[in-house]
Amino acid sequence: MWGAGFATGIGVGFVLGLVVRRLGVRQKPWSEMTEKEKKTRKIAIGAGSILLLLGIVALVWVVLSR
């Protein structure tokens, strides 16, 4: 059962990596982004948040099902 939480954690890490992109690169300030870039960033952050919540739910589910 721990595999579900582990797999979800990998997914969350992957999505957060996509949101952050490369860690050494300075990102544009929000005010300098185009509308398309802002929309893309909002979608990526939303997807990361949803996957994070799913990971927490999977962890709680596994812990409570023992």
Q: How confident is the model at residue 35 (pLDDT cuts 50, 70, 90)?
A: very high
* Domain interval for residue 47: 2-22+38-64
Residue 30 lies in a domain: no
* Domain total in the chain: 1
Q: How confident is the model at residue 14 (pLDDT cuts 50, 70, 90)?
A: confident
Q: Are 9 and 35 in contact (CB under 8 A)?
A: no
Percent of the chain with pLDDT over 70: 86
Measured distance CA(13)–CA(17) in Å, rounded: 6
Q: What's residue 23's pLDDT?
A: 59
Residue 59 lies in a domain: yes
Of 60, 46, 65, which is closest to residue 5 (Cα–Cα)? 60
Q: What is the SS3 string spanning the chain?
A: CHHHHHHHHHHHHHHHHHHHCCCCCCCCCHHHCCHHHHHHHHHHHHHHHHHHHHHHHHHHHHHHCC
The mean pLDDT of 23-33, rounded to a whole number, is 78
The mean pLDDT of 45-58, rounded to a whole number, is 84
